[in-house]
Chain A
Amino acid sequence: DIQMTQSPSSLSASVGDRVTITCRASQSISSHLNWYQQKPGKAPKLLIYAASSLQSGVPSRFSGTGSETDFTLTLSSLQPEDFATYYCQQSYSVPLSFGGGTKVEIK
């Protein structure tokens, strides 16, 4: 099974900050990597698919990069509505698996 490790597990940031979240796969997954945002009491929302493609309707301040084992989600200028938990997910092989999450909190 492919293990997905996110770092940090939590971070504190201010509105307007640039935020970077990292996801590492235990083996190469090419570009089969997706990112989600989850707010309390809500279902996850797809942000980025195939490592760097922005899902329709998602603000352009979100971007994704990476391939093989190392991936990054960047929020270029944190907005109040961006405080949430972010998950990466690999779809390279079964079982599909998620990272442990990164909680972005208000500083």
Chain B
Amino acid sequence: QVQLQESGPGLVKPSETLSLICGVSGGSISGYYWSWIRQPPGKGLEWIGFIHSSGSTTYNPSLKSRVTISVDTAKNQFSLSLTSVTAADTALYYCARVFRTVTEAFDIWGQGTMVTVSS
């Protein structure tokens, strides 16, 4: 079955760029939409954006000026870049597959990776 695994630095300095990769195993990345979602410690979930395997993207307007999501179909992975980070970006970052029917739901999730923004 399809599995997702996030990877990247657990600590990022303020004003720098957060970069994460989500590796997809057990299935192809092609033909699907993929998403990043984050959860600050003890808080709720925030959708960051999604990307189709073709490369088309949709971002949360609140983060759009700082976010880039890209896909590498050859490596079966997609990535997140968030620039100019502050302490408010400290969160558990999840990647997820988008299940599109009548609605868009997140049906497969990675385990999450904690990113702390601190000097």
**B105/A44 in contact, CB under 8 A:** no
**A34/B111 in contact, CB under 8 A:** no
Interface residues of A, Cβ cutoff 8 Å to B: 1, 31-34, 36, 42-46, 49-50, 53, 55, 87, 89, 91-92, 94-101
Query: B81 on the interface (CB 8 Å rule)?
Result: no
**B45/A87 in contact, CB under 8 A:** yes
**A89/B44 in contact, CB under 8 A:** no
Q: In the complex, what distance in Å separates the CA atom of A34 from the CA atom of B26? A: 25
> Cβ of A31: which chain B residues have Cβ within 8 Å of it?
102-103
Closest chain-A Cβ to B47's Cβ sits at a distance in Å of 4
> Cβ of B99: which chain A residues have Cβ within 8 Å of it?
46, 49
Interface residues of B, Cβ cutoff 8 Å to A: 44-47, 58, 60-62, 94, 96, 99, 101-107, 109-112
**B107/A44 in contact, CB under 8 A:** no
**B44/A100 in contact, CB under 8 A:** yes
* Complex A-B: 13 CB contacts under 8 Å: A1-B61, A34-B106, A44-B109, A45-B109, A49-B103, A53-B101, A53-B102, A89-B45, A89-B105, A94-B61, A96-B47, A96-B60, A98-B45
